Structure 1
Amino acid sequence: MAEELGLRERKKRETRQRIADVAMGLFMLRGFDQTTVADIAEAADVSVNTVFNYFKTKEDLFFDRQDAAVQSLGRVVASRREGESVVDALRRDFYEALDERDWRYGIVNGADDFFEMVVESPSLRARMREMGELRKEYLAQVLAEETDADPDDPTPRVVAALVVALTHAISMEYLQRLRAGESHAAILPAVRTAVEQGFELLRSGIGDYPA
């Protein structure tokens, strides 16, 4: 029974990923607003109902990894090494993402195409703003739990806002230069410098929080 359930869950994950991959291919080809859920269902060889079983909205298809994106900063903080500050943990994770060419900070080849579609669609812009707020809320919740903060203590919310603003600023700097025609490889040294300077500025404000 356990093997059967495991196989069923794996097939569900595979179906979900296939639908998301097909959807992104169509979005890249036709544009987000010009692609319908029916188009995606037909291309993925599933019914429209099946698409909605996995994704509540078309925006969910575009941001198919939104849960991971919203929770990523909080998870880094919650799983940081013993004695490691928020600044050190997040800076280390940022560098690891760069080295691994991971998408979680938006600094990867092709990010400009993704961002261009967001810019062109009002509903995607709205969803991205919403995800930014959820990202702050989730990180603030983790910080409050990690420090056993009083509900009236604004520190976790303030720190979360600073962290999200910093990571967003670095990612946007990368995107702007990428869209201006610079190559990914040419921008990376400047990104690393921005990470170092940005997190040092953050440290000057919050120190080794949470000690």
Structure 2
Amino acid sequence: MAESGLRERKKQRMYEAVSDVAIGLFLEKGFDSVSVAEVAAAADISKPTLFRYFPAKEDLVLYRFADHETEAARVVAGRPDGRSVADALLEHFLDGLRRDDPVTGLNDHPDVLAFHRLLYGTPSLAARAYAYVERSEAALAEALGGDLDARLAAGQITAVQRVLALENWRRIAEGERAAEVRRDAVAAARRAFAGLAAGSARLADSRTLGVTQ
């Protein structure tokens, strides 16, 4: 068991190290100007080894989202009894805003801004990111019960989270500081989840999506 855990940690470190090397090169030279072979050489691994870890060049960047793919599903599955789905997800999003989690868009660190410019300014990366969003939505739908109502709710929740994050990032990218955006970001999140609750279909577990005002 300990040996298995050690292997997994080594594998995780490899993912992180190669991804960091690749992103550094992409930020310096541009995504399309850096070859996979160049990334492999800079990371001191072979090209076939790199592809075992990252099937597509875009995955070298999007690996940073890997932990977030099932995040909403985990929040829903782990919420206390009696707590609504929307309340749990709203509090999780608000906690992200408090921590300046880059996933919420509310982070003005230069490295985070550079990463976001790389992501949203590269068409192939933006397109590949959509697949991550789809998988996140599918995991959330499964956590909600897996039927049509659950899939509808998961689509609405995912859209709300994405639009909120993009709006925060847009304002910061245009020159505002995170501290200046924070109050509006919190208010927008509360409004969005309240609206989501009011208009949502009934979920598969027979609970409404309701959020506390």
Q: Shorter-chain TM-score: which interval?
A: 0.7 to 0.9
Which SS does the other structure have where 2:125 is aligned? helix
Kindly indicate whether the alpha-carbon contact (under 8 Å) linking 2:104 and 2:168 is maintained by their aligned counterparts in 1: no
Kindly indicate whether the alpha-carbon contact (under 8 Å) linking 1:111 and 1:175 is maintained by their aligned counterparts in 2: no
Which SS does the other structure have where 1:190 is aligned? helix
Deviation digits for residues 102-158 of structure 1, max 9, x if unmatched? 33334323443223222332211211222222222221121115xxxxx4xx21121
Structure 2 CA distance, aligned partners of 1:133 and 1:91? 20
Instruction: Name 1:7's counterpart in structure 2.
Output: 6
Deviation digits for residues 27-72 of structure 1, max 9, x if unmatched? 1111111111111112212222221121111111110134323211
Instruction: Name 1:54's counterpart in structure 2.
Output: 53
Instruction: Name 2:80's counterpart in structure 1.
Output: 81
**1:169 and 2:176 are equivalent in the alignment:** no
Matching of residues 86-165 of structure 1 within 5 Å:
86-109=85-108, 110-144=111-145, 151=147, 154-165=148-159
Cα gap change, 1:4 to 1:131, in 2 (>3 Å): closer
Cα gap change, 1:169 to 1:6, in 2 (>3 Å): closer
Structure 2 CA distance, aligned partners of 1:134 and 1:14? 23
Instruction: Name 1:148's counterpart in structure 2.
Output: none
Kindly indicate whether the alpha-carbon contact (under 8 Å) linking 1:70 and 1:131 is maintained by their aligned counterparts in 2: yes
Structure 1 CA distance, aligned partners of 2:187 and 2:51? 43
Which SS does the other structure have where 2:33 is aligned? coil
| Structure 1: tracts of 5 or more residues without a match | 146-150
Cα gap change, 1:5 to 1:162, in 2 (>3 Å): closer
Cα gap change, 1:130 to 1:4, in 2 (>3 Å): closer
Structure 2 CA distance, aligned partners of 1:4 and 1:132? 33
TM-score (normalised: structure 2): 0.86
Kindly indicate whether the alpha-carbon contact (under 8 Å) linking 1:72 and 1:104 is maintained by their aligned counterparts in 2: no
Instruction: Name 1:17's counterpart in structure 2.
Output: 16
**1:198 and 2:192 are equivalent in the alignment:** yes
- Runs of 4+ off more than 4 Å: none
Structure 2 CA distance, aligned partners of 1:173 and 1:111? 15
Cα gap change, 1:88 to 1:33, in 2 (>3 Å): same
CA RMSD of aligned residues (A): 2.1
Which SS does the other structure have where 2:69 is aligned? helix
Deviation digits for residues 3-34 of structure 1, max 9, x if unmatched? 43333332222122111111111111111111
1:192 positional shift: 0.7
| Structure 2: tracts of 5 or more residues without a match | none
Instruction: Name 1:72's counterpart in structure 2.
Output: 71
Cα gap change, 1:194 to 1:210, in 2 (>3 Å): closer
Instruction: Name 1:63's counterpart in structure 2.
Output: 62
- Identity across aligned pairs (percent)? 34
Deviation digits for residues 72-112 of structure 1, max 9, x if unmatched? 11111111111110110001101111222333334323443
User: 2:174 aligned to 169, 172, 180, which one?
Assistant: 180
Structure 2 CA distance, aligned partners of 1:210 and 1:138? 17
Aligned residues: 203
Structure 2 CA distance, aligned partners of 1:192 and 1:111? 20
